[in-house]
């Protein structure tokens, strides 16, 4: 009953307009994903890189774990952060999350 009807149907050549219309939602989803997720993330990475490059000795910073301190020494990839008098932590530059205004850390 159903098999004979399926064989009876002829294959129609799909038009190019219908195939383009089937790809339109996929392209539209990628464009929305780019503007909502990818572009802001790239902007944030660029700002973080600029902040890391602008670090100087004496800046007050927040390290990734939430530790607040003052930069005592700087190297190529590592920074020594003084968290208390005589106590220094050696952290990677990328671990610095935020630069605080002067006078925050006492």
Backbone angles phi, psi at 86, to 5 degrees: 85, 0
Residue 5: pLDDT over 90: no
Residue 6: pLDDT over 90: no
pLDDT tens digits, 44-91: 999 999 999 999 999 999 999 999 999 999 999 999 999 999 999 999
CA 97 to chain centre: 13
Instruction: Say yes or no: 50 and 19 in one domain.
Output: yes
Instruction: Say yes or no: 61 and 96 in one domain.
Output: yes
Instruction: Say yes or no: 33 and 64 in one domain.
Output: no
pTM: 0.70
Instruction: Say yes or no: 65 and 45 in one domain.
Output: no
User: What is residue 15's three-state secondary structure?
Assistant: coil
Distance CA 104, CA 106 (A): 6
Domain that holds residue 72: 56-100
Residue 44 is predicted with a pLDDT of: 95
């Amino acid at each position: 009953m159903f098999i004979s009807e399926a064989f009876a149907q002829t294959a129609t050549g799909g038009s190019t307009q219908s195939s383009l219309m089937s790809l339109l939602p996929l392209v539209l989803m990628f464009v929305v994903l780019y503007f909502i997720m990818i572009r802001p993330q790239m902007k944030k990475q660029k700002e973080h890189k600029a902040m890391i490059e602008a670090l100087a000795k004496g800046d007050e910073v927040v390290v990734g774990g939430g530790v607040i301190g003052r930069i005592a020494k700087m190297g190529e990839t590592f920074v020594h952060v003084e968290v208390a008098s005589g106590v220094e932590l050696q952290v990677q530059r990328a671990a610095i999350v935020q630069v605080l205004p002067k006078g925050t850390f006492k």
